[in-house]
Amino acid sequence: MVWMLWASALMVAMNATIKHMTQELPVMVVFFFRMAFAVPLVLPWIVRSGPQILATERLGQHFIRAVFGALGMWCWVFGVKYLSLATFTAISFTRPLWMPFTAWFMLGERLDKRRGFLILLGFAGVLIAARPDMVFDVVVLVAILGGALSSVTMAQVKQLTATEPSVRIVFYSSIFGTLFGVPFVIADWVAPNLVQLAWLAVSAVTAAAGQYCVARAAEIGDATVITPVDFLQLPFAALAGFMIFTELPDLLTFAGAAIILLATLAIAREERRRHVLTPIQ
């Protein structure tokens, strides 16, 4: 739970940093450097493991995974720019709701009616949470699409981990994602100054640290225990939005997030119950 508490704080810090930068730089520039600064962070692991760690026979799948990951990150940056931090954070909680559908479509896992109902319940919470900002209806849809793409990349990672170590997956995702953004950032290029580059680097470092904390929490804790702690992102985001961007939190955002939380916890319980009841082959 402590690891997830740190993860929640770090993810809000990343979102606040990205939002701050999108007020000064185009979305594509922020997106590009957010991807590019992830590359140096993985280099120490490459050096320690040796260049042979990069040898792969699944380069095409790495590329496809990186493209989906890059599109998801662009949706993330776009949503953070135009939505309040609290509203965007509530919508970002849809990522676990997409996973059962994605696993059914990509991995052949069964999607029963009960989980289908819980997914619909979760998205009803999204509509409630996003209602204060529904004037930005396109932005809300882009933010929701980002959650869907995130679930796709998670399923792709699950497929790749059968033969690929995590450091290789992260490296190719960062490299290909950065290259994917090059033509788009050239079309909308604005050169960041040194201070802005420092903030962009902070967004990458906080993201990497947050992901590490999530991984540590998942390693030692049950999903039904750590997931509620992740929802502390919402009050953290509301506080940061109010103090930094003078965004007033809306009660509907918290109400919708509570519904999303309940649906996510119920899906996690269903998943755990299904694995417990499924006999070992």
281 in a structural domain: no
pLDDT tens for the chain, residues 1 to 281: 788 889 889 999 999 999 999 999 999 999 999 989 988 888 888 888 888 888 888 999 999 999 998 999 999 999 999 888 888 888 887 777 777 777 777 666 676 677 777 777 777 777 777 665 555 578 888 888 888 888 788 778 878 888 888 788 888 988 999 999 999 999 999 999 999 999 999 999 998 888 778 767 766 766 556 666 777 787 888 888 889 998 887 777 778 778 877 877 777 776 666 655 544 43
Q: What is the pLDDT of residue 95?
A: 75
266 in a structural domain: yes
Q: What is the pLDDT of residue 281?
A: 39
87 in a structural domain: yes
Q: Count Cβ atoms below 10 Å from residue 276 Cβ, excluding itself.
A: 7
State the SS3 of the chain.
CHHHHHHHHHHHHHHHHHHHHHCCCCHHHHHHHHHHCHHHHHHHHHHHHCHHHHCCCCHHHHHHHHHHHHHHHHHHHHHHHHCCHHHHHHHHCCHHHHHHHHHHHHHCCCCCHHHHHHHHHHHHHHHHHHHHHHHHHHHHHHHHHHHHHHHHHHHHHHHHCCCCCHHHHHHHHHHHHHHHHHHHHHHCCCCCCHHHHHHHHHHHHHHHHHHHHHHHHHHHCCHHHHHHHHCCHHHHHHHHHHHHHCCCCCHHHHHHHHHHHHHHHHHHHHHHHHHHHCCCC
Per the structure, the complete domain to which residue 133 belongs is given by 2-276
119 in a structural domain: yes
Give Rg (Cα) of the chain: 19
Q: What is the pLDDT of residue 106?
A: 67
85 in a structural domain: yes
Taking the C-alpha atoms of residue 76 and residue 139, their distance in angstroms, rounded to an integer, is: 10
Overall number of domains in the chain: 1
Q: What is the pLDDT of residue 37?
A: 92
